Amino acid sequence: MNPQPLFLHNTLSRNKERFEPQQPPLVGLYVCGPTVYGEAHLGHARPYLTFDVLVRYLRLQGYRVRYVRNITDVGHLEHDADEGEDKIARKARLEQVEPMEVAERYTRSFHASMQALNILPPDIEPRASGHIPEQLHMIEELMKLGFAYESAGSVYFDVAAYAAQYPYGQLSGRVADELLAGAGNERRALEGQSEKRNPADFALWKKAQPTHIMRWSSPWSEGFPGWHIECSAMSRKYLGEPFDIHGGGMDLLFPHHESEIAQSQACCGQVPARWWMHNNMVTIDGQKMGKSLGNFITLNELFAGNHPRLSQAFDPMVIRFFVLQAHYRSTLDFSSEALQAAEKGYKRFMDGVGVLMQLKSDASGDDFAVDSFVSSLYDALNDDLNTPMLIARIYEFLPQIHRMHEGKAHLSAKSLTRLQQAVQSLVTEVLGLTATQQQTGTHLNGVMDLLMDIRQQAKERRDFASSDEIRKRLELLGIQIKDGKDKSEWSLS
């Protein structure tokens, strides 16, 4: 248990603030989940990884976290689609399947990728399509309160009416007057603009065009919910208002999260979440990795090494380690070289941790201060989840571990146990890193034991021609032999 306070950066104040939930030990966390109309890519992995570490750390500290992460399966208007049709509907027509079939397929694929990355599932994973009544209800409330209006079957949020009563733009630093005056709208050609009272207004409900397949009944039209209302309605339903932490990618800051705040504040009179946390983007060649830019690499491509930019396949744990080696609020530049560096570093890291776990105490005194080292590890996480700092401090400690392993340094049983427990819980439970799994069957293990015995006998006869022949031919089969002092080890490469 860590007695030190945890500081988390709050986008609302642009400062690190000491985290204290409203009703300890309960913590309510909402994270914007994926829109399931395509394969998850590396950029998607970042927020889920970031908040996975947060949830794991909070739980280690004894908090009871309710983690809600939605699945957006109702589709949203696609601006650059020719007919302005629903993203999911468009994909469905192309693939000749039901829209929900597409959503289901990519939801399953998303779950598989998350599991591979050892990202714990959220406690509640609500689907937008399953919460249409809640969204309709919230829209009706907003209309009743005078913050929304109907226009040609669609319903829009009235930003001017809202801004007259509440501060608008506080999260993103936008100035309400300028937005209302249409600043930055020069390049907009959004469909439906003429229906709005003001260009800054955003849709709560959209009337479906005849070609639009995904549609639900509402008091105003057959249509579908607007771009931001699902998160407001679902977070309110499962976490109440206000809840503790709302998370998501930086690109959602505006308009998505700003709109969520406006909707919820208009309804309930307060900002819906106390902490707003935003992870930075994954870049590739200095540019954001994103669907619309077409420069993304899917997680499955990374796991399989199946992309022109990749020289090899990467273990999901290496991807996880790679992402955690950068602080979540910094951009992270992707390249195959950077991943290869992470792969090698990860192996050394986990090997060192593995050596530590095998250590036995044979001393009564301590050769170094375990307590200050362990607290320095917690300090890193307490400082706005500084995972790269945590990793670096463990790396720095690796030589000490090796000195102990060689019998050149010692720790008492009590200190060693404390060290092992701390590293174990931080590396395995919080960072979520586990040794990469080697898939070997019992048959292979048996055959390899036999071969290794034969080779060992050859070595003892100083028949190096034979032992080298075995090693060379196994290497061609993808099995690597490493000779130690007394015995040899093998591994699939």
Residues from 161 through 180 that contact RNA (CB under 7 A): 172-175, 178-179
- DSSP strand pairing (282-284 vs 332-334): parallel
The residue within the footprint of RNA, chosen from 118, 151, 170, 340 (CB under 7 A), is 340
Select from 19-27, 261-269, 343-351, 363-371 the region that touches RNA (CB under 7 A).
343-351
Distance, in Å, from the CA atom of 158 to the CA atom of 197, rounded to the nearest integer, reads: 8
Among 17, 104, 241, 251, binds RNA (CB under 7 A): 251
Exactly one of 22, 165, 185, 434 binds RNA (CB under 7 A); which one?
A: 185
Window 99-128: residues binding RNA (CB under 7 A) = none
Query: Interface mask (CB under 7 A) for RNA, residues 446-465, using x and -?
Result: -------------x----x-
Query: Pick from 287, 417, 421, 424: which binds RNA (CB under 7 A)?
Result: 287
Q: Name residues whose C-beta falls within 8 Å of residue 230's C-beta, 6 or more positions apart in sequence.
A: 70, 72, 74, 128, 131, 135
Query: How many residues touch RNA (CB under 7 A)?
Result: 93
- Shortest Cβ 26–RNA spacing (Å): 25
Shortest distance, CB of residue 328 to RNA, whole angstroms?
8
Residue 307 in the binding site for RNA (CB under 7 A): no
Is there binding between residue 486 and RNA (CB under 7 A)? no
Q: Show contacts with RNA in window 354-383 (CB under 7 A).
A: 383
- Give the three-class secondary structure for 344: helix
Amino acid at 359: L
Nearer to RNA, 63 or 410 (CB): 410
Q: Which two tokens stand for residue 299?
A: 């997680």
Q: Which of residues 51 and 243 has its CB atom nearest to RNA in the complex? A: 51
How many CA within 13 A on the CB side of residue 193?
A: 11
- Identified binder of RNA from the candidate list 252, 381, 419, 433, rule CB under 7 A: 252
Q: Can residue 484 be called a binding residue for RNA (CB under 7 A)?
A: yes
Q: Report the C-alpha gap between 238 and 88 in whole angstroms.
A: 26
Q: What angle do CA 252, 258, 261 make, to 5 degrees?
A: 125
Residue 31 to residue 122: CA distance in whole angstroms: 9
Minimal CA–CA distance to 252: which of 268, 230, 267? Answer: 230
414 residue type, one letter: K
**Is residue 76 involved in binding RNA (CB under 7 A)?**
yes
The CB-of-361 to RNA minimum distance in angstroms stands at 20
- When the beta carbons of 63 and 163 are compared against RNA, the nearer one is 163
Query: Residue 193, interface with RNA (CB under 7 A)?
Result: no
Smallest distance, RNA to C-beta of residue 492, A: 13
Tell me the closest approach of the beta carbon of residue 468 to RNA, in angstroms: 5
Q: Does 263 bind RNA (CB under 7 A)?
A: no
Q: Give the residue, chosen from 25, 62, 167, 184, that forms a contact with RNA under the rule CB under 7 A.
A: 184
**Burial of 465 (C-beta count, 10 Å sphere; 0-12/13-18/19+):** exposed
Minimum gap (Å) between residue 469 Cβ and RNA: 10
Assign 217 to helix, strand or coil: coil
Q: Which of 1, 3, 5, 14 binds RNA (CB under 7 A)?
A: 14
Looking at beta carbons, which pairs linking 191-197 to residues 24 or more positions away fall under 8 Å?
191/77, 191/79, 191/84, 192/154, 195/151, 195/152, 195/154, 195/156, 196/151, 196/156, 197/149, 197/151, 197/156, 197/158, 197/160
153 binds RNA per the rule CB under 7 A: no
Q: Cβ distance 274 to 241 under 8 Å?
A: no
**Cα–Cα distances in angstroms (integers) from residue 449 to residues 455, 470, 490, in the given order:** 10, 13, 10
**261 Cβ partners below 8 Å, 6+ apart?**
170, 171, 271, 272
Nearer to RNA, 63 or 135 (CB): 135
Q: Smaller CB distance to RNA: residue 281 or 319? A: 281
Task: Assess 348 for contact with RNA (CB under 7 A).
Answer: yes
For residue 246, state whether it binds RNA (rule: CB under 7 A).
no
Of residues 464-483, those binding RNA (CB under 7 A): 464, 467-468, 471, 480-483
Site for RNA in 219-238 (CB under 7 A): 227
128-131: list long-range contacts, CB under 8 Å, 24+ apart. Answer: 128/70, 128/71, 128/72, 128/73, 128/74, 128/225, 128/230, 128/234, 129/73, 129/74, 129/100, 129/103, 131/230, 131/233, 131/234, 131/237
CB of 92 to RNA, least distance (A): 16
Closest C-alpha among 341, 310, 323, 317 to residue 437: 317
Residue whose CB is less far from RNA, 22 or 463: 463
**Residue 262 binds RNA, judged by CB under 7 A:** no
Find, among 337, 108, 328, 139, the residue nearest to 236 by Cα.
139
User: Nearest distance from residue 6's CB to RNA, in Å?
Assistant: 15
Q: Which is nearer to RNA, 197 or 344 (CB)?
A: 344
Specify the 3-state DSSP secondary structure of 318. helix
17-46: which residues touch RNA (CB under 7 A)?
A: 32, 34-35, 43-44, 46
Q: Kindly state whether residue 198 participates in binding RNA, applying the rule CB under 7 A.
A: no
In angstroms, the CA 397 to CA 408 distance is 15
Q: What are the tokens at 117?
A: 């990355």
Please list the residues that pair with 279 across neighbouring strands: 249
* Stretch in the footprint of RNA (CB under 7 A) among 54-62, 93-101, 157-165, 338-346: 338-346
